[in-house]
């Protein structure tokens, strides 16, 4: 696993709660807010299960620690989106909290019902970007959530040992966390 230079993290007393909110003006019309909220809730819960950090949704967008929105093209942060596929999303290192998704993608909350060949699993991307918001950079371990790429119609939202060790080194372990063999990753498959 890899950290950002300077190893930034949210500098608050542990255990901490981070709030998140969705930009009301920057959503995608074909997904309901309930579906989007559900996918993010699952993604946040994955990280919260391994570290003593909890995530709470708030309606007060301007005061939220983590601000989530779907944007097209140049949206003012110097990192323009590029249309279908290519770059899917980006998030900023701590403690910025900015989380942007490319509105041009076909975001899916259920790959079985979404038949598009270019559908991108929202929960998988959300889980990856939350890793950035917490302070993790891209990992070279292919099975890890923090690996930088994700194929269309693929689901990769389960945290692997590489992700868990990385984030626990920053925030400590959730006292209720239990390691499961499914979290192991086979780094030999990288070659």
Partner 1 sequence: RPPPELAPSPATVVTVKNGSYTWHGFQRFLGARRGSRISGMAELKKYFNRFGYLGFQDGNVTDVFDTRLESAVAAYQAKLGLPVTGRLDSETLSQMMSPRCGMRDAMQPMHAAMH
- Catalytic residue numbers read 129
- Other CB atoms within a 10 A radius of the CB of residue 44 amount to 22
Minimum distance, C-beta of residue 176 to partner 1, in the bound complex (Å):
29
**CA dihedral (116, 121, 125, 128) positive or negative:** negative
Nearer to partner 1 by Cβ, of 143 and 171: the residue is: 143
Q: From 87, 99, 117, select the one nearest 39 (Cα to Cα).
A: 99
Minimum distance, C-beta of residue 9 to partner 1, in the bound complex (Å):
11
The interface region with partner 1, picked from 15-23, 40-48, 84-92, 160-168 by CB under 8 A, is 84-92
Phi, psi of 132 (to 5 degrees): -65, -45
**Chosen residue from 93, 103, 121, 174 binding partner 1 by CB under 8 A:** 93
**Chosen residue from 17, 24, 33, 83 binding partner 1 by CB under 8 A:** 83
148 binds partner 1 per the rule CB under 8 A? yes
Minimum distance, C-beta of residue 125 to partner 1, in the bound complex (Å):
8
Q: From 3, 42, 62, 15, select the one nearest 121 (Cα to Cα).
A: 42
153 binds partner 1 per the rule CB under 8 A? no
Answer whether 83's CB lies under 8 Å from 89's CB.
no
Minimum distance, C-beta of residue 173 to partner 1, in the bound complex (Å):
24
Q: From 89, 85, 106, 88, select the one nearest 98 (Cα to Cα).
A: 89
Distance between CA atoms of 160 and 138, rounded to whole angstroms?
Answer: 13
**CA dihedral (145, 16, 13, 180) positive or negative:** negative
Which residues within the stretch 105-144 sit at the binding site for partner 1 (CB under 8 A)? 106, 113-120, 125, 128-129, 132, 137-138, 140-142
Which residues within the stretch 50-79 sit at the binding site for partner 1 (CB under 8 A)? 77, 79
**For the chain, how big is the Rg over CA atoms in Å?**
16
Minimum distance, C-beta of residue 90 to partner 1, in the bound complex (Å):
3
Binding region for partner 1 (CB under 8 A): 4-6, 8, 30, 77, 79, 81-93, 96, 98, 106, 113-120, 125, 128-129, 132, 137-138, 140-142, 147-152, 187, 190-191
């Amino acid at each position: 696993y890899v950290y950002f230079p300077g190893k930034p993290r949210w500098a608050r007393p542990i255990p901490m709660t981070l709030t998140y909110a969705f930009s009301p003006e920057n959503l995608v019309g074909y997904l309901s807010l309930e579906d989007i909220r559900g996918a993010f809730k699952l993604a946040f819960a994955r990280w919260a299960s391994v570290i003593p950090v909890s995530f709470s949704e708030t309606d007060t967008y301007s005061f939220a620690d983590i601000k989530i929105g779907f944007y097209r093209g140049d949206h003012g942060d110097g990192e323009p989106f590029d249309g279908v596929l290519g770059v899917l999303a980006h998030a900023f290192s701590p403690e910025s909290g900015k989380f942007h998704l490319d509105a041009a993608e076909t975001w899916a909350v259920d790959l079985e019902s979404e038949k598009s060949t270019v559908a991108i699993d929202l929960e998988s991307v959300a889980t990856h970007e939350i890793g950035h918001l917490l302070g993790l950079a891209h990992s070279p371990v292919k099975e890890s959530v923090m690996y930088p790429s994700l194929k269309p119609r693929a689901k990769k939202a389960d945290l692997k040992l590489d992700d868990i060790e990385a984030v626990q080194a920053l925030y400590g372990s959730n006292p209720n966390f239990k390691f499961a063999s499914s979290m192991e990753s086979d780094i030999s498959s990288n070659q």
